[in-house]
Amino acid sequence: MKSLNLRQNGIGAEGALAIAQSLKYNSTLTNLQLSHNKIGDQGVAAILGALQNNPSLSKLNLESNDIRDQGASSIALFIRS
């Protein structure tokens, strides 16, 4: 599987943690659509942490996920690294 669309699934921080665990071991996914969920700052931090060891993912959509300043900072740090 190269693309996964989980848009508008009510995914919160707990679900994001489960997704992060899966991303640690996935080497084929290139596109992950997570827009319009409720992932929040903690969830986005977990996902980005998992992606540090996952070079295959090239597109990640986190639009409309209750991400605040802390989550935005995590995203900025990830992009810079």
Give the CA dihedral 19, 24, 30, 34, nearest 10 degrees.
Answer: 20
Identify the CA nearest to 35 among candidates 57, 10, 13, 65.
65
pLDDT digits (tens, 9 = 90+) for 51-68: 998 889 999 999 999 999
Residues 59 and 36 sit within 8 Å (Cβ to Cβ): no
| pLDDT exceeds cutoff 90 at 81 | no
The pTM score is 0.91
CATH architecture assigned to 3-80: Alpha-Beta Horseshoe (3.80)
pLDDT digits (tens, 9 = 90+) for 66-77: 999 999 999 999
